[in-house]
Chain A
């Protein structure tokens, strides 16, 4: 009796949901990572206007945000995203590897490795830079507390880790030296949050740590939201080119009948309007013309790419972040 009623309720509820999605208006679900909240609020509005004008159809875009790896997991477990806009190619690739939700060649479906905007890793320090942090070398000094999320769960943290590695390898030459450098760096990390936003809160709100390894856009945002007098951005001599990737989730758009609008949505990211919104939200635009407009916002940094420094994401992931990888060897909680 109880079970029957429960089943009935569930059925009614789920029917209600599917009925709602079959209406004339079209709905999209964009599953994204933590720091893109503000970007997609603005972009969704622009796209909805564009779609209304060109296709005479109302499109409502829902957003879900969280740590990049966690979000990919949720889509694999059945969160029916029409598009994913995650922090790195590896997390998008998991949708193919684990559940075949997207084709193997998804990376080449859109220009620029399916990454319409890029970012990098910079340092956020407290006002006046009391610990005199100028470059990566200063992060491994004793007594400096470094804040970064957990590379196991956060996309941004994996970029942080790889940027530090790339710097050490370039300045000291060998993988062994790089490993030692990164080990020292993580000895200076007092808290590992699961996502980039959690770490921002730790550094900014709870006042823990001397330097925060942050997405460039996240650093600008913290500066704007919480006061330019409280924090400073320090640009290291070398960092990594972060390419947050986007993809249409084929299996879900087939099911929802939203392929056309989902593809248009992602392509709109590459238009001047889309690029401009990215630039405004402190993502580095790909479009040269729009990028020129924001040239004074983004400092010139010597950026290495994951392909040239690490031989691609799959290799970097397997070597560094999978269970038993380098990160597991160097970071042992409690053994500080």
Chain B
């Protein structure tokens, strides 16, 4: 008996030895990771905020309440408010179709969804200039009917939708694939309609993944620069989004104002990340609760 315990202890000891690196290696690796984080993430972020307040809170406040800046903020939020719901609908339907059904061309669809990730945002913008620009075959018709797409808000929304296209679908596809189709099949055998199955069975089990996708999609929608820059036309107070406004301010030597706007954008991103972490934390807790409940029942 005692022999067995001691051999167990020894084995445990050996096990810890095998997984533990010497102290200096641990310190070195941790130091590298931390300094990398500090150098590439924390310090630049701090720099943005210190530069933003370098001329005092008054200048900061003036910079973000100035009409052009205010318009840029509103336009950025509008573009996100339109493109995120559109991508939710699209992402859900695409993920649903891809993971729950078998059909020809499925691989092609998956590849297409990934296209905006692979294509440079500048190309994404140019696509719309080629499609809707005055020199395109649609151009004269649009002009005659007084419909403005590029160099106006619709173009900005279109470009944003394009670059944020894959975020939600890409988040949901692996999750739904992992879950399989057994619950849906059970639900259907019990007599539920397809719509009921979606609302009562599929949606509740993917809601966390969906929220996560929405958050990432939103972050990108607000931060997009390249594609939007091509289709914007850069009209101040009309077609400048927050990222474009920051570039303009920087080019006008208004560094404090530029960084104030940048800090606002960074702030929006930070809020997004906090919401994301809160959601994750909540999700983990809920899962633990479910596991505990299950084990108590057992």
**Cβ contact within 8 Å between A78 and B151:** yes
Q: How far is the CA of A13 from the CA of B147 in the complex (A)?
A: 9
Contact string against B for A residues 200-223, beta-carbon threshold 8 Å, 1 for contact and 0 otherwise: 010000000000000000000100
Identify the interface centre among A18, A34, A64, A221: most chain B CB within 10 Å of its CB: A64
**B213 proximal to A (CB < 8 A):** no
Contacts A9-B82, A13-B154, A17-B153 given: A66-B234 contact, CB under 8 Å? yes
B2 within 8 A of A: no
Cβ proximity bits B215-255 to A, threshold 8 Å, 1 near / 0 not = 00000000000000000011111100000000010111100
B159 CB to nearest chain A CB (Å): 13
Give the distance in Å from the alpha carbon of A76 to the alpha carbon of B130 in the complex: 12
A299 to B129 alpha-carbon distance, docked (Å): 44
Interface residues of B in 89-137 (CB under 8 A from A): 89-90, 129, 132-135
- Contact of B133 (CB < 8 Å), options: A6, A14, A78, A198: A78
Do A78 and B235 touch (CB < 8 A)?
no
Q: Is B264 an interface residue (CB 8 A)?
A: no
From the candidates A6, A14, A197, name the one contacting B148 in the complex (CB within 8 A): A14
In Å, the complex CA distance between A66 and B251 comes to 10
Q: A63-B235, A63-B236 are in contact. Are A13 and B146 (CB under 8 A)?
A: no
Are the C-beta atoms of A77 and B237 separated by less than 8 Å?
no
A66 to B237 CA separation, bound complex (whole angstroms)? 16
Whether A2 and B139, one on each chain, are in contact in the complex, defined by CB atoms closer than 8 angstroms, is no
| Min CB gap B48→A, angstroms | 15
Taking the complex as formed, is B175 at the interface, i.e. its CB lies under 8 A from any CB of chain A?
Answer: no
Instruction: Let me know if A10 and B149 touch, CB within 8 A.
Output: yes
Contact of A62 among B148, B150, B237, B251 (CB under 8 A): B237
Task: Decide if A29 is an interface residue (CB 8 Å cutoff).
Answer: yes
- Given A11-B147, A226-B253, verify A64-B233 contact (CB < 8 Å): yes
The answer, yes or no, to whether B266 is at the interface (CB within 8 Å) is no
- Which of A34, A64, A77, A197 is in CB contact (< 8 Å) with B150? A77
Whether A74 contacts B86 in the complex (CB less than 8 A), given A13-B153, A201-B251, comes out as no
CB contacts (< 8 Å) of B86 on chain A: these are: 2, 5-6
Q: How many angstroms from the CA of A62 to the CA of B232 in the assembled complex?
A: 14
CA distance A6 to B132 in the complex (A): 15
List which A18-55 residues lie within 8 A (CB) of chain B: 18, 29, 34, 37-38
A220 CB, min distance to chain B CBs, angstroms:
13
Which single member of A18, A29, A37 contacts B252 (CB below 8 Å)?
A37
Are B134 and A99 closer than 8 Å at their CB atoms?
Answer: yes
Using a CB–CB distance below 8 Å, which chain B residues touch chain A?
Answer: 82, 86, 89-90, 129, 132-135, 139, 142-143, 146-154, 157, 233-238, 248, 250-253
Further contacts, 4 of them, CB under 8 A, given A18-B148, A37-B251, A64-B233: A62-B237, A66-B234, A78-B132, A221-B253
Using CB atoms and an 8 Å cutoff, list the residues of chain A in contact with chain B.
2, 5-6, 9-11, 13-14, 17-18, 29, 34, 37-38, 62-66, 74, 76-80, 98-99, 197-198, 201, 221, 225-226, 255
**19 residue pairs A–B, Cβ–Cβ below 8 Å:** A2-B86, A2-B89, A6-B86, A9-B82, A9-B157, A10-B154, A13-B154, A13-B157, A17-B152, A37-B251, A62-B237, A62-B238, A76-B134, A77-B134, A78-B135, A79-B151, A98-B135, A99-B135, A226-B253
